[in-house]
């Protein structure tokens, strides 16, 4: 069957992304803040939900007013794997009073310090949540992942992985191969996802993984449909130096 092709992707700043990754690796690598992860993704024109770092209840309320209610308040702590279980996220906040209470609770969940790393984001709602990302394996190299997201991602395990280089045909096949694929095209009245934008996200993740094998783990969960495309709401990124890589022509496109 046809392998597809590597599409031309506008809006990519490889040098900028390489500079950010190099700086972070010099600082020790490992898990990174959401702000640094978003900066790398922006170099590949991957949409992320805006977030404002706040260090007090006053700043949290100001950010919420600027975004407009409802908002989400959550910890930006790379040590946290599941924010919901640790009480480090509060959603659908509709007033300044709720934001103040949420800031106190989230800051306490991190380390109890008033200066804890906390962010405010506009609240997104979607019927279908997805997860996407990159996983680096020393034998196979980097893999691109797509699956059903949200809190059910580990429970249902509806995920697809593909080797690099990722083609347009690979990207389309990934979402079509999900058990939950019907949810993406509209199921019993549910709103369909912009699958063209979803495929574009996947090929951009593939190009990011090709250019920066130092990305050991990248988890975008959830990825939600928005008015124009899809948007990554929560980001987790781990950087690590890489050693011997797989043969780069193991899967050569002809």
Number of residues that make up the chain: 254
Give the Cα-Cα-Cα angle 234, 238, 241 (nearest 5 degrees): 160
Confidence of residue 84 (pLDDT cuts 50, 70, 90): low
Lowest mean pLDDT segment, chosen from 77-86, 154-163, 212-221: 77-86
pLDDT digits (tens, 9 = 90+) for 97-111: 999 999 999 988 876
What domains sit in the chain, N to C, each tagged with a CATH number? 14-48+126-239 (3.30.470.20), 52-122 (3.30.1490.20)
Give the CA-trace dihedral at 137, 141, 145, 151, to 10 degrees: 20
Q: How many CA atoms lie within 13 A of 216 on its CB side?
A: 12
Give all strands (DSSP E) within 105-154, no chain letters.
118-122, 130-137, 141-148
Tell me if 116 sits within 8 A of 190, measured CB to CB. Answer: no
The packing angle between helices 34-42 and 14-26, to 10°, is: 150
pLDDT for residue 115: 45
């Amino acid at each position: 069957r046809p392998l597809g092709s590597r599409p031309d992707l506008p809006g990519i700043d490889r040098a900028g992304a390489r500079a950010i990754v190099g700086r972070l690796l010099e600082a020790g690598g490992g898990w990174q803040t959401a702000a640094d992860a978003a900066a790398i993704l922006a170099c590949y024109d991957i949409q992320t939900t805006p977030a404002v770092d706040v260090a007090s209840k006053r700043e949290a309320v100001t950010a919420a007013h600027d975004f407009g209610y409802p908002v989400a308040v959550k910890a930006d702590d790379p040590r946290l794997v599941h924010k919901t279980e640790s009480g480090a996220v509060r959603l659908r906040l509709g007033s300044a009073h709720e934001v103040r209470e949420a800031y106190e609770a989230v800051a306490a969940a991190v380390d109890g310090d008033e200066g804890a790393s906390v962010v405010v984001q506009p609240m997104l709602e979607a019927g279908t949540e997805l997860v996407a990302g990159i996983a680096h394996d020393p034998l196979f190299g980097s893999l691109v992942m797509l699956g059903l997201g949200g809190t059910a991602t580990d429970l249902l395990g509806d995920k697809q992985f593909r080797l690099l280089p990722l083609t347009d045909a690979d990207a389309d096949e990934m979402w079509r191969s999900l058990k939950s694929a019907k949810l993406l095209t509209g199921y019993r009245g549910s709103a369909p996802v912009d699958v063209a934008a979803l495929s574009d996200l996947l090929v951009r993740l593939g190009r990011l993984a090709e250019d920066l094998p130092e990305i050991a783990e990248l988890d975008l969960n959830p990825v939600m449909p928005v008015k124009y495309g899809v948007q990554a709401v929560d980001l987790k990124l781990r950087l690590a130096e890489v050693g011997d890589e797989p043969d780069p022509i193991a899967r050569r496109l002809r």
